[in-house]
A and B are shown apart, each in its own frame.
Chain A
């Protein structure tokens, strides 16, 4: 319904037009995000001169890593137009199951069992969403109730067994080398590269975008959508499990609600990172920056000794502002 202009008359240099900026932001949302991140660092330097150090960077990143993994679950599911609200309960389950099994079974078996449980929860989500077509919001919300309930019962059974976070997990999740290189990067860098590569260069990644953009079109092109969704939610469950293990490595104490409070933050990280909650658009690089921004922000507000209340208000306002700016920049007129 439209005529593309600029074919007859010579257009002004692309970089000078507002449209070119818009296109840059639409196709590379990471650029303005990095600008925002830079601005936050500058702000930090202004309000707390001298805080910025390798140490400080290390701690920001160390805390951003599990959030970024948790936000990967949201990014991937949001690309298909879904969401995974069960990641909090599932990640907590991984941490708790692992910690309670370590005394009797040793760390390896404990980790395997914990991740298998996460994969099962993901499979149940995937079957609900992909085969029985339950709305992802409902399905994963319900799954989080189921998992939380089961874990509470499990907690009562295992109360005598005691729990322990093995040193390997503590080192990997919360440790640092040279005082500033967080060990969890060892885990995260390959994971993140893998996710970004998979989204861009594998058939499965393409299908996530396709299903989220237009499920019917995907079906007509021969895609069995249920396969994609089941696989996706299993992956999401496993990622949540990994995130839970990293979290417990940082906190060193496993509880059945350990990760609950990060679920909405993870959604926020994906949203800030430019992934559309309606599916079909977005990527993981933006999510990582989003997670770092949120981690930095939490840190900044803590350093400023803002009360928890003000912190939440600022947090919410920033999520909304970024989402609004993003919508404004990328929307079609």
Chain B
């Protein structure tokens, strides 16, 4: 890494530190962004990425460290101050006010209207009716609009925090294209993403954080991912991840035998719900992990809603162990052994309560369990689940103080504690670090090996090979294809997910980026 002349640096943050009580979120983070580059900021969960972002955007004050913008020391004490310094963030959750219309939203931030229109068109959204309430726009449009609003003020440094996560592929392409072109005008972009595909395609350099420190800056060149993963995991982490991967393979081989001779645990026939789920049928057997692959918004949310009892189907049948069932409430699904692990941990956890209460929550759910708690039984079930998932219980009195990965483990442990028959996982590894991901794959394999049936929707295609026995691909609310995990490589899955028949060519960028994804 060469040190450029100071004037080249549009943003220069050094020695940034932040503690929350006894917890050091950042120890010595630094980030140097050159003029006219797209710079990735990477790190596993808990590495301090989000704290650094909060400091750069004025949401949080650092305890130590200096931040120079274009060579000038800046005190970024509020989001407004960050904007004035030329640092404008765009988050995964759009910062639009839902109860104001688009025009008022622009007025609120003092953004000129015409440039916004320009960027909206540039980003492929067509014209937007400025009098629409922000809450009435589809989420993807809100995200794009938020980005357009940021671009319209011509920021020196644009900060994209997981902005492309769960954005439809076509919009993602436009976004990446537009963002990349920021370089041409001598502006810079800080890009945060869990997707190596995008980082590879877009970024010039990457800064890697681990345990609150900047552990390296990498030039994005062929082979850079290996280096980045090493940096992110550290020496010890890499070993553990490898070990977990081996374990996963072993348990799967054991399980496949189990799966073949069983009848279906869950049979879905002609399911239709809402405007996006049209006609889905598949079977889920005991002892298998069935992958479910779909692009954003193909009806998978509705499907999981119906299966978990959160919403009703408009048409179609569900059979559990050969019996027809109908769910009006999640409790009905749970009684039939269908338990649900959502992607968003905030939906599933009691953040202020202890690990124990979180895991034991389903025990008390039924009316007849409202009476005295059998403390000893509960304690043994809970500690069994904690051991099995290797949950780090150092901060167990309040779940919100656990790391993201550990929180997700708690949501799974809740069901594991009582024994799992059928587990519905909706993108359970979204936004958590590699090591925990591997542990979750291993757990799902283990559950299947013990005779459980697992349905795993995933937005990361490589998970199909890592964790599943076979995969069902849904496109436009219908099952378009089924394939064995052995042939479910990413190009193949992506092709099917785009609704294309086998043998047909894929959209070019998609192939190019998908094959580069790290294993």
Report which A residues bind B (CB closer than 8 A): 1-7, 11, 17, 19, 22-23, 27, 201-204, 206-207, 209-210, 213-214, 216-224, 227, 231, 276, 280-281, 332-333
| Contact of A203 with B46 in the complex, beta carbons under 8 Å | no
Contact of B362 among A201, A209, A221 (CB under 8 A): A221
| Contact of B25 with A1 in the complex, beta carbons under 8 Å | yes
Asked if B350 is an interface residue, CB under 8 A from chain A, the answer is yes
| Contact of B350 with A5 in the complex, beta carbons under 8 Å | no
Asked if B397 is an interface residue, CB under 8 A from chain A, the answer is yes
Asked if B299 is an interface residue, CB under 8 A from chain A, the answer is no
| Contact of B364 with A207 in the complex, beta carbons under 8 Å | yes
Residue on A nearest B392 in the bound complex, by CB: A4
| Contact of B23 with A5 in the complex, beta carbons under 8 Å | yes
Asked if B371 is an interface residue, CB under 8 A from chain A, the answer is yes
Contact flags (1/0) for B374-388 with A, using CB distance below 8 Å?
A: 010000000000000
| Contact of B342 with A220 in the complex, beta carbons under 8 Å | yes
CB contact under 8 A between A333 and B21, given known A203-B364, A217-B350, A221-B362: yes
Closest 10 interchain pairs by CB?
A: A203-B364, A222-B365, A213-B350, A222-B331, A204-B370, A222-B334, A203-B370, A221-B362, A223-B365, A221-B361
Expressed in whole angstroms, the minimum distance between the Cβ of A279 and any Cβ of chain B is: 9
| Contact of B23 with A201 in the complex, beta carbons under 8 Å | no
Contact of B371 among A7, A202, A218, A221 (CB under 8 A): A202
Residue on B nearest A227 in the bound complex, by CB: B367
Residue on B nearest A226 in the bound complex, by CB: B329
Asked if B347 is an interface residue, CB under 8 A from chain A, the answer is yes
Question: Whole-angstrom distance between the alpha carbons of A4 and B394 in the complex?
Answer: 8
| Contact of B21 with A217 in the complex, beta carbons under 8 Å | no
Asked if B78 is an interface residue, CB under 8 A from chain A, the answer is no
| Contact of A281 with B352 in the complex, beta carbons under 8 Å | yes
| Contact of B22 with A220 in the complex, beta carbons under 8 Å | no
**Interface contacts beyond A3-B48, A202-B371, A214-B350: sample of 14 additional A-B pairs, CB < 8 Å, sorted by A:** A1-B404, A3-B46, A203-B372, A206-B360, A207-B370, A209-B353, A213-B352, A214-B347, A217-B348, A222-B335, A223-B364, A223-B365, A332-B20, A333-B21
| Contact of A2 with B330 in the complex, beta carbons under 8 Å | no
Asked if B146 is an interface residue, CB under 8 A from chain A, the answer is no
| Contact of B353 with A210 in the complex, beta carbons under 8 Å | yes
- Number of residues of chain B lying within 8 A (CB) of chain A: 54
Question: Whole-angstrom distance between the alpha carbons of A121 and B21 in the complex?
Answer: 46
> Which residues of B are found within 8 Å of A281, using beta-carbon distances?
352
| Contact of B329 with A220 in the complex, beta carbons under 8 Å | no
Provide a sorted-by-A list of 8 A–B residue pairs whose CB atoms are within 8 angstroms: A1-B46, A209-B357, A210-B353, A214-B348, A219-B330, A220-B342, A221-B361, A227-B367
| Contact of B21 with A19 in the complex, beta carbons under 8 Å | yes
> Which residues of A are found within 8 Å of B346, using beta-carbon distances?
214
Contact flags (1/0) for B420-437 with A, using CB distance below 8 Å?
A: 000000000000000000
> Which residues of B are found within 8 Å of A1, using beta-carbon distances?
25, 45-46, 48-51, 403-404
Asked if B172 is an interface residue, CB under 8 A from chain A, the answer is no
> Which residues of A are found within 8 Å of B85, using beta-carbon distances?
none
Question: Whole-angstrom distance between the alpha carbons of A17 and B19 in the complex?
Answer: 15
Question: Whole-angstrom distance between the alpha carbons of A203 and B362 in the complex?
Answer: 10
Expressed in whole angstroms, the minimum distance between the Cβ of A123 and any Cβ of chain B is: 16
CB contact under 8 A between A203 and B373, given known A209-B353, A281-B352, A333-B20: yes
Question: Whole-angstrom distance between the alpha carbons of A223 and B310 in the complex?
Answer: 12
> Which residues of B are found within 8 Å of A231, using beta-carbon distances?
370
| Contact of B364 with A206 in the complex, beta carbons under 8 Å | yes
CB contact under 8 A between A201 and B361, given known A217-B347, A333-B21: no
A201, A207, A221, A280: residue with the most chain B Cβ atoms closer than 10 Å: A221
Contact flags (1/0) for B37-57 with A, using CB distance below 8 Å?
A: 000000001101111000000
| Contact of B351 with A203 in the complex, beta carbons under 8 Å | no
| Contact of A217 with B25 in the complex, beta carbons under 8 Å | no
| Contact of B371 with A203 in the complex, beta carbons under 8 Å | yes
> Which residues of B are found within 8 Å of A4, using beta-carbon distances?
22-23, 394-395
Question: Whole-angstrom distance between the alpha carbons of A216 and B330 in the complex?
Answer: 11
A5, A11, A22: residue with the most chain B Cβ atoms closer than 10 Å: A5
| Contact of A210 with B331 in the complex, beta carbons under 8 Å | no
> Which residues of A are found within 8 Å of B365, using beta-carbon distances?
207, 218, 221-224
> Which residues of A are found within 8 Å of B350, using beta-carbon distances?
209-210, 213-214, 217-218, 280
> Which residues of A are found within 8 Å of B404, using beta-carbon distances?
1
Contact flags (1/0) for B207-227 with A, using CB distance below 8 Å?
A: 000011000000000000000
Contact flags (1/0) for B394-420 with A, using CB distance below 8 Å?
A: 110100110110000000001000000
